């Protein structure tokens, strides 16, 4: 295993042009890796390699990684255009050890007594969970094809396979079929720690940067890792949260205040401490006011990377955090528009109070995953009336809004209309008459409900819009009677008499030759296929030629 590079943190602010001339290194002062963070209004350029040996920059995070001496680092830190300079130290996993499994059973009930069941409020199928860790064994049977590679910042390739097992275990607790809190969430491995469970802060920042740039929302990220304080790491996580991604982080396993570790010290992240099966703070778990809530973290069984069916039992705040990440995925599944702050607030509001002992000043909040809500109820019993030949749209309604889908359970919609999954009945009806159908709504839990709905369709009253001009005797005459919407139908003479020599056909064509001069008044009737009728009275003057 590699040893951590621990050291002092230098703060300041810089710009690339000031970094071109490095100070000479002394023989007793070998170069070390540093993270240089620029102010957000500063420009970044690879010319910053002049600080020493430039290693790489970040995608979105304003900074870069370089090798330089402590003297060079002090010079860079003094530049007013740089925000911060710190040694790029190694961090490690937030710990694990063996014991029996019980976590899922605990988080869906208030009392400590096991119910031997787990019934979550959703399944997370619309959410992506990013596991910033040692990678994921994506072919593990627990994931059922829902796990994928994001990127590997250790080997610098797109294959984030897990050679340690920790990341796969974390992913299994977030979304495994048996061990997962959110059993249909999409899992994405972002590898920032090596086979020994160690990695540089700069690698982790790159992983966070990648998630910020590539995350499919709604999204949650889990970080079951940490070490000492790193302002650069905290800023990277804060920027990613500001971009709309919820972060759940392990409090750490040193039995000290969680505010001594990054990113556990970040208020915007959901910081998770560990409990045992008796709701006691785990003896190893970090603590303090910076902890948002506790979750099971002792003796947690989940998937591991040893094989596609392999499992293992680990302990640590690394195991507590993914319980909460899974719960965050359930919240985002039910409320996809929630911001990270709203997800954090809901987790805290839902937590079980008055249960955790030996908290050492931590808030008394234990993760709770609410049971599914009551079955949905359909409020619509009758839609607005549709009219034949006219575009129509009506939305089915629930008694209370929730995410889900609609479909026709039985019966036939009026011809020309269809029902969408969003509950909208639309189209252009072609036949009048009321239809009674049974519709089904299935929510995200999933829970289903059916109800009969009446959809009335009427044929609108036609309007005769043709005007008829006069004519001369001995003049050929031809005019077409019409209705405003152009519908089909038949025409007839209702009353009166047409001018001598003219004929009205069923098609509405009036034709002939004027014979007798005079004024003729008559009424025509139009009848459509649905027996809707209209009449209009005309007066035509025939002038002597």
Q: What is the pLDDT of residue 92?
A: 75
CB 151 within 8 A of CB 160: yes
Q: Annotated active-site positions, please? A: 133, 166, 318
Q: Is 46 helix (H, G, I), strand (E, B) or coil?
A: helix
**pLDDT exceeds 80 at position 24:** no
Domain boundaries, the chain: 9-88, 92-366, 386-458, 471-543
Q: For the domain bounded by 9-88, which CATH number is listed?
A: 3.30.70
Cβ count near 462 (within 10 Å): 21
* 16 — pLDDT class (breaks 50, 70, 90): very low
Q: Output the pLDDT for position 23.
A: 41
Q: Exposure pattern of 214-252 as b/e (b: 16+ CB <10 Å)?
A: ebeebbbbbbbbbbbbbbbbbbbbbbbbeeebbbbbbbb
Q: What is the pLDDT of residue 392?
A: 96
Contacts for 378 with CB less than 8 Å, ≥ 6 apart: 396, 397, 398, 399, 439, 441, 449, 450, 451, 453
Q: Do 536 and 461 touch, CB atoms closer than 8 A? A: no
Averaged pLDDT for residues 95-118: 55
Q: What would the mean pLDDT of 172-192 be, rounded to a whole number?
A: 96
Q: 478-529 pLDDT, tens per residue?
A: 999 999 888 889 999 999 999 999 999 999 999 999 999 999 999 999 998 8
Beta strands per DSSP E along 205-364: 219-223, 225-226, 246-250, 270-275, 293-296, 300-303, 311-314, 352-353
Cα separation, 20 vs 148, in Å, equals: 41
CATH topology of domain 92-366: Rossmann fold (3.40.50)
- Assess contact for 120 and 114: CB atoms under 8 A: no
3-state secondary structure 357-408: ECCCCCCCEECCCCCCCCCCCECCCECCCEECCCCEEEECCECCCCCEEEEE
pLDDT at 281 over 90: yes
Residue appearing with tokens 């889990």: 222
User: Looking at domain 386-458, which CATH architecture does it have?
Assistant: Sandwich (2.60)
CA atoms of 83 and 89, how far apart (whole Å): 18
How does pLDDT run across 41-89, given as a tens digit for each residue?
A: 555 453 544 567 888 888 888 899 999 998 999 999 998 889 999 999 8
- Identify the pLDDT of residue 21: 36
Helix, strand, coil tally for the chain in percent (to 5): 15, 35, 50
pLDDT cut 70: percent of the chain above it: 87
Sheet with 386-387, side-by-side order of all strands:
386-387, 448-458, 433-443, 404-410
Task: Supply 336's token pair.
Answer: 């996809």
Alpha helices in 7-86, H assignment, sequence order: 70-77
What is the C-alpha to C-alpha distance for residues 459 and 531, in angstroms, rounded to an integer?
A: 9
CB 544 within 8 A of CB 518: no
Comparing 1 with 107, the larger pLDDT belongs to: 107
pLDDT tens string 232-276: 999 999 999 999 999 999 999 999 999 999 999 999 999 999 999
Contact between 286 and 251 under an 8 Å Cβ cutoff? The reply is yes
DSSP category for residue 216: P
**Tell me: the pLDDT tens digits for 329-339?**
999 998 899 99
**Looking at residue 208, what is its pLDDT?**
98
97 pLDDT exceeds 80?
no
CA distances from 245 to 212, 223, 344, 350 (A): 7, 13, 11, 20
Q: Which of 372, 269, 375 is nearest to 325 (CA)?
A: 269
Q: Report the C-alpha gap between 357 and 353 in whole angstroms.
A: 11
The whole-angstrom separation of Cα 54 and Cα 47 is 9
Q: How many CA atoms lie within 13 A of 346 on its CB side?
A: 19
Mean pLDDT of the 124-134 span: 96
Q: Which of 89, 25, 36 is nearest to 58 (CA)?
A: 36
Q: What is the pLDDT of residue 388?
A: 85
Is residue 10's pLDDT more than 50?
no
CB atoms within 10 A of CB 144: 12
pLDDT at 421 over 70: yes
pLDDT value for 472: 96
Under 8 Å between Cβ of 393 and 416: no
Q: Which residues contact 181 (CB under 8 A, 6 or more apart)?
A: 104, 107, 120, 124, 173, 174, 175, 322, 323, 325, 326, 327, 329, 330, 369
The answer to whether the Cα torsion of 256, 259, 265, 268 is positive or negative is: positive
Tokens, residue 511: 């034709």
Three-state secondary structure along 152-190?
Answer: ECCCCECCCCCCCCHHHHHHHHHHCCCCCCCCCCEEEEE
For residue 60, the model assigns a pLDDT of 84
Average of per-residue pLDDT across 10-25: 32
Cβ atoms 73, 292 nearer than 8 A: no
386-458 and 471-543 agree in CATH topology: yes
For residue 177, cis peptide bond before it (omega within 30 degrees of 0) = no
CA of 97: how far to CAs of 162, 241, 359, 438, in Å? 18, 30, 21, 55
Please give the pLDDT value at position 94.
59
CATH class of the domain defined by 471-543: mainly beta
Is the sign of the CA dihedral 421, 425, 426, 429 positive or negative?
positive
| Residue keyed to tokens 């249960």 | 355
At 115 the pLDDT is: 60
Identify the band that residue 474 occupies on the pLDDT scale cut at 50, 70 and 90: very high
Average per-residue pLDDT in the chain? 88
Whether 7 shows a pLDDT value over 50: the answer reads: no
Strand pairing partners for 63?
37
Q: What dihedral do alpha carbons 410, 414, 416, 422 form, nearest 10°?
A: -50
Q: What is the mean pLDDT of residues 361-385?
A: 91
For residues 192 and 200, give the distance between their C-alpha atoms in angstroms, rounded to a whole number. Answer: 8
């Amino acid at each position: 295993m590699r040893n951590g590079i621990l050291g002092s943190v230098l703060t300041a602010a810089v710009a690339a042009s000031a970094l071109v001339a490095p100070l000479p290194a002394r023989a007793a002062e070998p170069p070390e890796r540093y993270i240089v963070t620029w102010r957000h209004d500063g420009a970044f350029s690879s010319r910053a390699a002049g600080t020493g040996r430039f290693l790489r920059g970040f995608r979105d995070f304003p900074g870069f990684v370089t090798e330089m001496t402590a003297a060079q680092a002090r010079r860079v830190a003094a530049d007013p255009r740089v925000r911060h300079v710190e040694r790029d130290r190694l961090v490690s996993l937030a710990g694990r050890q063996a014991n029996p499994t019980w976590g899922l059973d605990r988080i869906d009930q208030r009392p400590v007594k096991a119910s031997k069941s787990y019934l979550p409020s959703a399944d997370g199928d619309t959410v992506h969970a990013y596991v910033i860790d040692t990678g994921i064994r994506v072919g593990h049977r627990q994931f059922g094809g829902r796990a994928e590679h994001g990127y590997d910042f250790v080997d610098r390739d797109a294959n984030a396979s897990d050679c340690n097992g920790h990341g796969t275990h974390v992913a299994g607790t977030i979304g495994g079929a048996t061990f997962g809190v959110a059993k249909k969430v999409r899992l994405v491995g972002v590898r920032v720690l090596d086979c020994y469970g160690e990695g540089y802060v700069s690698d982790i920042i790159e992983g966070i940067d990648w998630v910020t740039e590539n995350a499919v929302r709604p999204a949650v990220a889990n970080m079951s890792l940490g070490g000492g304080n790193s302002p650069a790491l905290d800023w990277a996580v804060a920027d990613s949260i500001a971009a709309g991604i919820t972060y759940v982080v392990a409090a750490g396993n040193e039995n000290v205040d969680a505010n001594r570790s990054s990113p556990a010290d970040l208020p915007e992240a959901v910081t998770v401490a560990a409990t045992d099966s008796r709701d006691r703070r785990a003896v190893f778990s970090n603590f303090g006011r910076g902890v948002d809530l506790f979750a099971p973290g002792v003796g947690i069984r989940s998937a591991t990377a040893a094989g596609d069916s392999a499992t293992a039992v680990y302990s640590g705040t690394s195991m507590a955090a993914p319980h909460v990440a899974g719960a965050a995925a359930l919240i985002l599944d039910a409320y996809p528009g929630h911001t990270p702050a709203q997800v954090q607030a809901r987790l805290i509001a839902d937590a079980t109070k008055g249960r955790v002992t030996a908290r050492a000043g931590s808030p008394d909040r234990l993760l709770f995953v609410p049971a599914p809500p009551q079955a949905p109820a359909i409020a619509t019993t009758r839609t607005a009336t549709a009219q034949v030949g006219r575009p129509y749209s009506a939305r089915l309604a629930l008694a209370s809004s929730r995410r889900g889908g609609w479909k026709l359970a039985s019966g036939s919609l009026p011809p020309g209309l269809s029902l969408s999954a969003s509950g909208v009945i639309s189209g252009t009806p072609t036949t009048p008459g009321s239809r009674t159908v049974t519709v089904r709504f299935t929510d995200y839990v999933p829970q289903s409900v059916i109800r009969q709905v009446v959809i009335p369709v009427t044929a609108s009253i036609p309007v005769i819009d043709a005007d008829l001009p006069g004519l001369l005797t001995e003049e050929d005459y031809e005019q077409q009677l019409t209705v405003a919407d152009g519908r089909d139908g038949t025409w007839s003479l209702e009353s009166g008499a047409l001018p001598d020599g003219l004929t009205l056909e069923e098609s509405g064509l009036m034709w002939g030759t004027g014979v007798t001069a005079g004024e003729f008044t008559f009424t025509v009737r139009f009848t459509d296929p649905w027996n809707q009728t209209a009449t209009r009275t005309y007066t035509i003057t025939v002038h002597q030629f």
